[in-house]
Amino acid sequence: MTCRILLYSKVGNTLKVGEELAWELGAQLHEIEVPDCEDGFRARLRQRISALLSKEPQVYTSDQPWGKSDLLILGTPACAGRAALPLRQWLATRPALPDRVALLITSEEASCPSSVVEDLTRLIGRNPVAVMYASTTELPTGAWKSRLSQFLDLCVVRYRQSA
């Protein structure tokens, strides 16, 4: 089974959970990269000109056959009740997606923001097979891991025997 994880992690929380999922599933982990902001007058001038020419910063991902995967897990932090902009930008390019897509969401809220799930469901054009949620308060203690087994069961039938 081919499983890939594609995520954007602003401060590292989503990446931390994504690494655990990659380990459990034997999945390939890929990150969406956004160019770093530079300091200085010339850098700010370039950024302003870029903003005038294109409304959103460009995002970069590795060139993968996403649609040929058996499962793709998309990861994002929740930002103002929506998926993070870099993941939404990548999905707006209409990449080929596999039939089975799962979601990984992190945020400061105690429970998974349904608006983020709805946002991503609309962007991927189908219901996710599973949703893994981890709040930032659960990350240091690992409390989110209590939901990991159920998430994996929904993602992959008999994952324990095939791993």
What pLDDT does residue 130 have? 95
Query: Would you call 134 exposed, middle or buried from its count of C-beta atoms within 10 A (0-12, 13-18, 19+)?
Result: buried
What pLDDT does residue 29 have? 96
Instruction: Answer whether 0.95 is exceeded by the pTM.
Output: no
CATH H-level superfamily of 3-162: Flavodoxin domain (3.40.50.360)
What pLDDT does residue 15 have? 96
What pLDDT does residue 64 have? 86
Residues (pLDDT < 50) of the chain are 158-163
